[in-house]
Amino acid sequence: MQSMQTLFTRIDYERLPEGFPAQLVEGQLVREPAPLWRHESVRVRLLRALLPLVEDDHLGVAPIDVLVDEHNVYQPDIAVLGSVPDYDTSYVGTPLAVFEILSPSTASHDRDVKTPRLLELGVREVWLVDPGAGTIECHTAVGVRSAHGTDSIASDVVPGFRVSPFELLRSSRPR
């Protein structure tokens, strides 16, 4: 006997209370606990690196909503926006670049589900920062560039943005 599973839609998602900690991924509401402090430390470092290069209204930090389709609304850790969103909505349009800080519980979803969908949507760069592996990857429609250690990696979307895993992850590793 086969069980039927109901897929949630964007409309169901919009009915959630404001600030409810969930994303809509492949028709499922995915609720995650607050990230580890290491994750937040890396996010702050990324923000510090991006702030001098991106206008304030063009930089979004989770929780913000990226509408992919009727069964997918993602909340990237950081998004660089091409235009200023309407101030009366949580949807930010299609970002130019998205930054995800991987954790053991979210890495496979971020890498295998969200990254390809975001690229199909038109996001020009999807950055995956992996504190556990000490790597940074920049995914684009034409391929993947990566860096580890003191090697740096630069953005084609955010002029002047260049970062190395060593700088970004320097105190986020367990001692």
Beta strand spans in the chain (E): 22-25, 28-31, 59-61, 66-69, 72-74, 78-80, 97-101, 125-130, 135-140, 143-148, 153-154, 162-163
What is the C-alpha to C-alpha distance for residues 79 and 66, in angstroms, rounded to an integer?
9
Non-local (6+) Cβ contacts of 174 within 8 A are none
Which pTM was predicted? Answer: 0.82
Domain 34-169: which topology? tt1808, chain A (3.90.1570)
Digitized pLDDT (tens) for each residue of the chain, 175 residues in all: 455 578 888 888 888 877 777 878 888 887 766 666 788 889 999 999 999 999 988 999 888 889 999 999 898 999 999 988 888 777 888 999 999 999 888 889 899 999 999 999 999 999 999 999 999 999 999 999 999 999 999 999 999 999 999 999 986 445 4
Please count the CA atoms within 13 angstroms of the CA of 41 that sit on its side-chain side: 14
Token pair 């890495």 in the structure block, residue: 107
Domain boundaries, the chain: 34-169
* 31 neighbors 115 (Cβ within 8 angstroms): no
Q: Which residues contact 45 (CB under 8 A, 6 or more apart)?
A: 167, 168
